[in-house]
Chain A
Amino acid sequence: DIVMTQSPDSLAVSLGERATINCKSSQSVLYSSNNKNYLTWYQQKPGQPPKLLIYWASTRESGVPDRFSGSGSGTDFTLTISSLQAEDVALYYCQQYYSTPITFGQGTRLEIK
């Protein structure tokens, strides 16, 4: 199984500042045939299910604010929130869909400083 490791486990950022969450996979999730990274990011607020933010490592889902961006390739990925808003307080998860079983990172808790 591909192990997904996120860092940090928790993060406190001031409103309007940049937040960066990292995700590392135990093996590459880049498929050489199409040069795509099989990596997605979700946001989960308390009492709610996960919400899709980004897929293919950097493609923003429709309706997701453009302050959210994804980057990286191979085994190292980053979710960046360019200017933190109060409504961004949540847990964030990465997930690989390169191979079965799909696996998730352990989650990163984002709070306001």
Chain B
Amino acid sequence: QLQLQESGPGLVKASETLSLTCSVSGGSISSSTYYWAWIRQPPGKGLEWIGSVHYSGSTYYKSSLKSRLTISVDTSKNQLSLKLSSVTAADTAVYYCARPGVVPAADWRGESWFDPWGQGTQVTVSS
């Protein structure tokens, strides 16, 4: 059974860089031909997709975060990574990684649903 687990410092100072890792077990990142995602959820708010990465290293990001965000993949460690620079209080959230659902090639439009998700890791930006 595929499992995802996010990890990283729970507290980051404003203006510094947030770094998170998503460790995948029970399956290989390389087994999915689609893009794995990072999604965040600010306290008491809804879900926000922030970026996606393919096992080849190809990425794409939410436009408003593009200048601050770097997502990468390490297939040898079966891990995804996220780095968000110059953080502010608005970046305080639970950060999730998630596996893309299997969309048949004939139906592929570039995106997917997500299943499963990691348990999430809380990140708080302090001033």
* Residue from A31, A34, A52, A106 within 8 A of B46 (CB atoms): A106
Q: What 1/0 mask marks residues of chain B from 83 to 127 whose CB sits below 8 Å from any chain A CB?
A: 000000000000010100101001101111111111110000000
Q: State whether A52 and B48 are in contact (beta carbons under 8 Å apart), knowing that A31-B109, A34-B107, A100-B60 are contacts in the complex.
A: no
Q: What 1/0 mask marks residues of chain A from 81 to 97 whose CB sits below 8 Å from any chain B CB?
A: 00000000000010101
Within the complex, the shortest CB–CB distance from B60 to chain A, in Å, comes to 7
Task: Decide if A49 is an interface residue (CB 8 Å cutoff).
Answer: yes
Q: A48 — nearest CB in chain B belongs to which residue?
A: B119
Task: Decide if A36 is an interface residue (CB 8 Å cutoff).
Answer: yes
CB–CB B46/A93 < 8 A = yes
Q: A97 — nearest CB in chain B belongs to which residue?
A: B111
Complex Cα spacing A61 to B114, Å: 12
Total A-B Cβ pairs within 8 A: 64
Task: Decide if A58 is an interface residue (CB 8 Å cutoff).
Answer: no
CB–CB B118/A97 < 8 A = no
* Residue from B106, B109, B112, B118 within 8 A of A49 (CB atoms): B118
Q: What 1/0 mask marks residues of chain A from 44 to 72 whose CB sits below 8 Å from any chain B CB?
A: 00001111100100000100000000000
Which residues in B have their C-beta under 8 angstroms from that of A38?
A: 109, 111
Complex Cα spacing A106 to B37, Å: 19
- Interface size, A (range): 20 to 34
Pick from A48, A49, A93, A99 the residue with the most CB of B within 10 Å.
A49
Q: List 11 A-B contacts (CB under 8 A).
A: A31-B107, A38-B109, A40-B113, A49-B116, A49-B119, A50-B47, A51-B117, A52-B101, A95-B47, A97-B109, A100-B110
Which residue numbers of B lie inside 8 Å of A, CB to CB?
37, 46-49, 60, 62-63, 96, 98, 101, 103, 106-107, 109-120
Known: A34-B106, A49-B98, A55-B113; 15 extra A-B contacts, CB below 8 A, are A49-B119, A50-B47, A50-B114, A50-B117, A51-B117, A52-B113, A52-B116, A97-B109, A97-B111, A98-B109, A100-B110, A101-B49, A101-B62, A104-B48, A104-B49
Which residue numbers of A lie inside 8 Å of B, CB to CB?
31, 34, 36, 38, 40, 48-52, 55, 61, 93, 95, 97-107
